[in-house]
Amino acid sequence: MASPQSAKRARSNTIGDAHLNTSAPPAEEISHQIQHLNRQTVTDILTQAAQIHPDVMSMVEDAIRIIREKERNRVINFDHYSSSVWKSINITYRSMRGGAQYDVSFEVAQDVVDTIKSIAKQCGPFTNPQTRFNGLSVLRKIGKTIALSSNDTVGHEVQKRFQWDASLVEGMLEILDSMTADEILEIREDEASPDSLWPKLQELEELANDYCIHPGLEAVLGRLDPDHRDEEEWDEEEHEEAYEEAYEDEENEDEGEEGEGEENEDDIHQAQP
């Protein structure tokens, strides 16, 4: 028979004495064993344990609540992402020749896409409202950088990627989906403060139309202001036609450059020592 003192010790366990395994190994040993399991296996075991034992489910809920409270209390600034994208497109590779820039441009474009997705992922419904605003604002900056960075091969090729890639728009919509109605209304109604985002998004829409990039951006402004699209309906066919014209002009330019290269080939050889 258990002594009164041991019974008291068992009852004092806050995890749930009904399921306490007194013969279990020490916590450190159990933790060491768990390290050998992959993430999915741990998830499956924890799910089963939570279904069987209410105290385990309570521990899971407490852990989630703590994580969400930390997210709500933490404000993330994404400005360094915007600076990094601008530098990568405009500075890092500008000393390279055109061919080398072309080769690296695909990696740069993919890095931009990955950055956009990373920002959106950090702006979920349980984050601080300022974090969501910061994320949307920086995506707008990245979108503008893409529009205005076509002076060299890297910028030109990145811009071409976003003529069909809607990652920026998808990221913006993902953040807006996580915002409350009050957050969205505040963005739409603020048109004069230094941090006003609405007029800057309107500017981005004009740039997107001029350069035929960020397809579907009108949906972002429409989410903020349902009446916005009534003023200027988006013409998808017109967008596709503009893209095709830009593509044809580019091919013609490339052919012209090749022709000039062939005509001047002899002169180039003569100029070499």
One digit per residue, the tens of pLDDT, for the chain of length 273 reads 444 444 444 444 444 444 556 777 888 888 888 888 888 988 988 898 888 988 888 888 777 777 777 776 789 999 999 999 999 999 999 999 989 999 999 999 999 999 999 999 999 999 999 999 999 999 999 999 999 998 899 999 999 999 999 999 999 999 999 999 999 999 999 998 888 999 999 999 999 999 999 999 999 999 999 887 644 444 445 555 555 655 565 555 555 544 444 444 444 333 333
pLDDT of 263: 43
Q: With both helix axes pointing from N to C terminus, report the angle between 129-148 and 98-121 in degrees, rounded to the nearest 10.
A: 160
How far, in Å, CA of 142 to CA of 161, rounded?
14
How far, in Å, CA of 176 to CA of 170, rounded?
10
pLDDT of 115: 98
Task: Collect contacts of 49-55 with beta carbons under 8 A, ≥24 apart.
Answer: 53/16, 53/19, 54/16, 55/15, 55/16, 55/18, 55/19
What is the DSSP secondary structure assignment for residue 122, as one 8-state letter? T
Please give the radius of gyration of the chain, using alpha carbons only, rounded to the nearest integer.
28
Instruction: Specify whether the CB–CB gap between 159 and 149 falls below 8 A.
Output: yes
pLDDT of 148: 95
Q: How many other CB atoms sit within 10 Å of the CB of residue 173?
A: 18
Nearest residue to 74 via CA among 31, 114, 25, 124:
124
Q: Residue 190: enclosing H or E segment and its boundaries?
A: none
Phi, psi of 258 (to 5 degrees): -65, -40
* Ranges of each domain in the chain: 38-73, 78-224
How far, in Å, CA of 260 to CA of 58, rounded?
74
The model's pTM: 0.68
Instruction: Specify whether the CB–CB gap between 20 and 13 falls below 8 A.
Output: yes
pLDDT of 231: 45
